Structure 1
Amino acid sequence: MLRLSKLTDYGTVIMTHLARDPGRIYSAAELAAAIGVAVPTVSKILKTLARHHLLQSLRGANGGYLLARPPEHISIAQVIDAMEGPAGMTECSVAAGLCAQEGLCAIRANWQSINRVIFMALNSVTLADMAQPVLHTVDIGALHARGARAAS
């Protein structure tokens, strides 16, 4: 089963909350209360997202955090990448040279194809999409066809 870490899950919830009112500045305490997660955990996530330029951090009495870009310009893939690093089903699907069996592996290309489809699906969903009451469906078949054309 594919599963995101709890911190990444919380990160997507925080970013989606911010996307619902993108110009508003939120404190860590406000966000923690809104999503029901402890302030230290929320603070850790906010710092990570700000370090990856997805959030803007403002200091001072009226400081806090807001989205660094409009919600339609931030994808779920970018949030996952900021929280966990490059998403990959297997070591070899992230980058070459990470697996000792790479030269002998007969299924590496298949894993890379699967990884590409998953990435394209995650990259096609923005924070603006997530902020909607119901997410539009993602046509996996169209994504796979687009990935196959890009690979050839």
Structure 2
Amino acid sequence: MRLSNLADYAVVTMSAAARHCGGGRTSATELAEETGLPLPTVQKLVSILGKAGLLRSVRGAGGGLQLARPAAAITVADIVEAVEGPIALTQCVEGQDCAVDHACSLKPHWPFINQALRGALAGIPLTQLVVQREAA
């Protein structure tokens, strides 16, 4: 399994946003500068992550972007799903057609496998990514 570039960039962007926690606000421009990502990409991600309830925009003087909930309550799974949709290794679990669906003995097991993968990503809070980077 490989994440799309956009999902990867979303994790990078959210990690940068998390470094502004504690009342600090940031902007898409600042996030682009900090991460080295193109500003249009960060702006697109801000929109996606905002719709998913992970980032929020505060208007007015002193406004800007901030996490919509504490960094400890946001996981890598939340971020990946905001960009990619539900975490699933195979398309058949999502109800899409499969050429061998009629003879597949693994189909009943994929939900458990997908849940294990999601559980692993859900076990990594955004705070862990920020702490590891600061320690490096």
Q: Report the TM-score, using the length of structure 2 for normalisation.
A: 0.87
> Is the 1:91–1:98 Cα contact (8 Å) retained in structure 2?
yes
Query: RMSD of the alignment, in Å?
Result: 1.7
Q: Report the TM-score, using the length of structure 1 for normalisation.
A: 0.78
Q: 1:63 to 1:102 in 2, by over 3 A?
A: farther
**The residue matched to 1:131 in structure 2 has which SS?**
helix
Q: Match of 1:12, as an amino acid?
A: V
State the match for 2:125 in structure 1. Answer: 126
Partners of 1:61 and 1:83 lie apart in 2 by 30
> Is the 1:92–1:112 Cα contact (8 Å) retained in structure 2?
no
Partners of 1:57 and 1:120 lie apart in 2 by 29
CA-to-aligned-CA distance 1:100-140 (integer Å, 9 cap, x gap): 55454211123222211111000111101111127xxxxxx
Greater relative contact order: 1 or 2 (C-alpha under 8 angstroms, separation 6 or more)? 2
CA-to-aligned-CA distance 1:32-58 (integer Å, 9 cap, x gap): 000001111100000100011100112
CA-to-aligned-CA distance 1:9-65 (integer Å, 9 cap, x gap): 111011111222313111111110000011111000001000111001123454321
Aligned pair count reads: 131
Partners of 1:44 and 1:59 lie apart in 2 by 18
Unaligned runs of 5+ in 2: none
More moved, 116-125 vs 17-26: 17-26
> Is the 1:58–1:64 Cα contact (8 Å) retained in structure 2?
yes
Q: Match of 1:18, as an amino acid?
A: A
Q: Match of 1:44, as an amino acid?
A: K
Partners of 1:60 and 1:34 lie apart in 2 by 23
Q: Percent identity, aligned pairs only?
A: 38
State the match for 1:11 in structure 2. Answer: 10
